[in-house]
Amino acid sequence: MKDLHGLTISTSSAEAGAAMERALSSFLKFRLDAREHLSRCLAADPEFGLAHCLKGYFAMLLYKQAGVAPAAQSARTARALAAKATAREQSHVEALEAWVEGALDRTLAIWETILADHPTDALALRLAHLKYFWLGRPRDMVASVERVVPRWGRDLPGWGGVLSCRCFAHEECGDYATAEAAGRAAVELDPADLWATHAVAHIMEMQDRHDEGIAWLGELEPHWAGANNLLHHLWWHRALFHLERLEFDVVLDLYDRRFRDLNSPLAQMQPDFHIDVQNAASMLFRLERHDVGVGDRWIELADKAEKRIGDCRSPFTLPHWLMALAATGRYEGRSTCSTPCARSATAAKPSPRSSARSRSPSARRCWRIGAVNIPVPST
């Protein structure tokens, strides 16, 4: 059976194939129902190896230690079914196995090999894109997407998703003209493309276009229904624009009602989701630098941080946990928390641009409060 991109998938069930397409589409569009579609896919064909692999990918994308064992089990199941799978699907299983093992360079190399042979594999493209970002490797983000652009049919489903990756990759490298053209083109194709919406918001923030940013997000907000936790991050970007305009009451209102509403269904479902923690801690820290009182908002973050000490599956989130511990005076666990943070920082391959970001006062404080013995240059 062929998928919408002409790639062979190893299932004889039309129902499973259709559910797999919906799961992938929801994942690429940051929709909350991706797991539901995947469950329907596996119910229709329990021996669909790529579907088990995708289940493992979803577990790893939680970026928490508790997701590793389920991902490993999915990898074992997928491996047992790999004999009747295509070479591309088998490579996805190998990538999942490497990711579970923490061999990130090997994981990325496998995804890039898949893309070299199958440039329309949207799953491999998006996973590599996200992993390069979290590793602070924006030039690799650009190289990855630009390799597939000439080989991707403009009429194929998912072209907008390629443009959104192109937008964010070039934004992270500071090429705002190329980035914005791609991002706007993606949103024109699909106003519900949250990744492109997010990437253009980044550009506007970097260029101090705060009024435009507020208008951009406000115009596209009606298309955010059914979004996963990226919804909170979009609201965080909205708050960041208001912060730049020194509208602190608006920022606190957006914090409590939009991106850190602990009673919202998304927060109830995943109260310590990595992006949500990053949103909350970074905004509270910014507000305090403006001498804005944040009340007891740090406490629930610190409570969650204490339960995640030693969990280094998301190195970028670790400094945010440290901020919460420091803000509430909980120093007893900082060395345990900061050791993996230091190890991850030593192993990272930051770009000059990401290194420049690490020289910010916020980043310097993150290292200091964690008692990490890493020299940080002054601004």
Q: Where are the domains of the chain?
A: 1-118, 229-295, 301-379
Half-sphere exposure of 201 toward its Cβ, with a 13 Å CA cutoff? 26
Distance between CA atoms of residues 39 and 36, nearest Å = 5
Contact between 49 and 85 (Cβ < 8 Å)? yes
pTM over 0.75: yes
Angle between helices 361-369 and 274-289 (to 10 degrees): 110
Measured CA to CA in angstroms, residue 190 lies from 10, 62, 174, 194, 197 at distances of: 30, 26, 24, 9, 10
**Interval 302-350: pLDDT, tens:** 999 999 988 888 999 999 999 999 999 998 765 556 555 555 444 444 4
Q: Which of 128, 132, 136 is nearest to 350 (CA)?
A: 136
**Interval 274-312: pLDDT, tens:** 999 999 999 999 999 999 999 999 999 999 999 998 888
CATH of 1-118, one of 1.25.40, 1.10.10, 3.90.1720, 1.10.3470: 1.25.40
**Interval 90-137: pLDDT, tens:** 999 999 999 999 999 999 999 999 999 999 999 999 999 999 999 999
Q: 374's torsion region: left (phi>0), alpha (psi -120 to 50) or beta?
A: beta
Q: How confident is the model at residue 269 (pLDDT cuts 50, 70, 90)?
A: very high
What's 131's DSSP letter?
H
